[in-house]
Amino acid sequence: MLLPLFPLPDVVHFPGTPLPLHIFEPRYRAMVADLLARPPAERRIGMILLARDADTGAAELLEPGTAGRLVDHEALPDGRSNILLAGEFRFAIEREVEGKAYRQALVRPLTEGTPPGAEAEVEQLRRRILGLARPVARECAARCGFDAQELARLDRPERFEQLVNRLAASLDLPALRKQTLLAEPLAARAHSIAGILRSRVLVLDALRPYRGQAATPEAQ
């Protein structure tokens, strides 16, 4: 599959999650124009993390990336645009292809899913993640990017993959940590998310006795 590539230094896209983008560079305006000329089902962009070597400054594309389908486009008067991508699948780059102002590559889709026969383990893990995510959402929804209502919507066995990826996308983690999550198989990614949430819950529990003190004015 040939995909246009959109390398960004601080963005990691996950399958099953939305990604809004603001398009302003001429080469990416051309990319969006090319996509809009295609049938809607073929309007995909390969989002991939761009990293730079701390010593040399050399740029490197970190795999895997995620193919996102363009599902909304808002043209702005000066040629810029706002777009919305819906993450579809992870991919590995086979080779880059010349011929456009923007980068493009032949890519190999990577499978996402859980091993056959692991249904009981997955269900236990799903319940653990939800049990950890709820107190995090309750105490810091404004900062963590998800809330109790969204968790309730994702509380179905068939939405396990979407739950894991939505939390991975929403948690305030460094881009390189998110890239590590994206590179993991789904079950391993879920275990990692559970571990991150567990750490957040422990911190919230440790800080709880001091919140009232912080909110109380110092006695005169």
Least confident among 47-51, 64-68, 100-104, 119-123: 119-123
pTM of model > 0.75: yes
Task: Tell me whether residue 32 is in a domain.
Answer: yes
Please give, one letter per residue, the 3-state secondary structure of the chain.
CEEEEEEECCCCCCCCCEEEEEECCHHHHHHHHHHHCCCHHHCEEEEEEEEECCCCCCEEEEEEEEEEEEEEEEECCCCCEEEEEEEEEEEEEEEEECCCCCCEEEEEEECCCCCCCCHHHHHHHHHHHHHHHHHHHHHHHHHHCCCHHHHHHCCCHHHHHHHHHHHHHHCCCCHHHHHHHHHCCHHHHHHHHHHHHHHHHHHHHHHHHHHHHHHCCCCC
How high is the pLDDT of residue 119? 84
Same domain, 65 and 93: yes
Same domain, 123 and 184: yes
Same domain, 151 and 99: no
Same domain, 57 and 13: yes
**C-beta atoms surrounding 41 within 10 Å:** 7
Same domain, 124 and 178: yes
Same domain, 128 and 196: yes
| Alpha-carbon gap, residue 7 to 183, rounded angstroms | 16
Of all residues in the chain, the percent with pLDDT exceeding 70 is 92
pLDDT value at 82 more than 80: yes
Same domain, 129 and 91: no
> At 211, is the pLDDT very low, low, confident or very high (cuts 50, 70, 90)?
low
Same domain, 17 and 51: yes
Same domain, 104 and 125: no
On whether the CB atoms of residues 168 and 182 are closer than 8 A, the answer is yes
Q: Containing domain of residue 34, as a range?
A: 2-110
At which of 110, 142, 157 does a domain end?
110
> At 220, is the pLDDT very low, low, confident or very high (cuts 50, 70, 90)?
very low
Task: Tell me whether residue 190 is in a domain.
Answer: yes
pLDDT value at 215 more than 70: no
Same domain, 87 and 11: yes
Task: Tell me whether residue 152 is in a domain.
Answer: yes
On whether the CB atoms of residues 177 and 168 are closer than 8 A, the answer is no
Same domain, 10 and 39: yes
Same domain, 106 and 6: yes
> At 219, is the pLDDT very low, low, confident or very high (cuts 50, 70, 90)?
very low
pLDDT value at 29 more than 90: yes
**C-beta atoms surrounding 194 within 10 Å:** 20
How high is the pLDDT of residue 205? 80
Task: Tell me whether residue 90 is in a domain.
Answer: yes
Give the mean model confidence (pLDDT) for residues 154-163. 93
Task: Tell me whether residue 92 is in a domain.
Answer: yes
pLDDT tens digits for 88-131?
999 999 999 999 999 999 999 998 877 777 788 899 999 999 99
Task: Tell me whether residue 217 is in a domain.
Answer: no
How high is the pLDDT of residue 175? 95
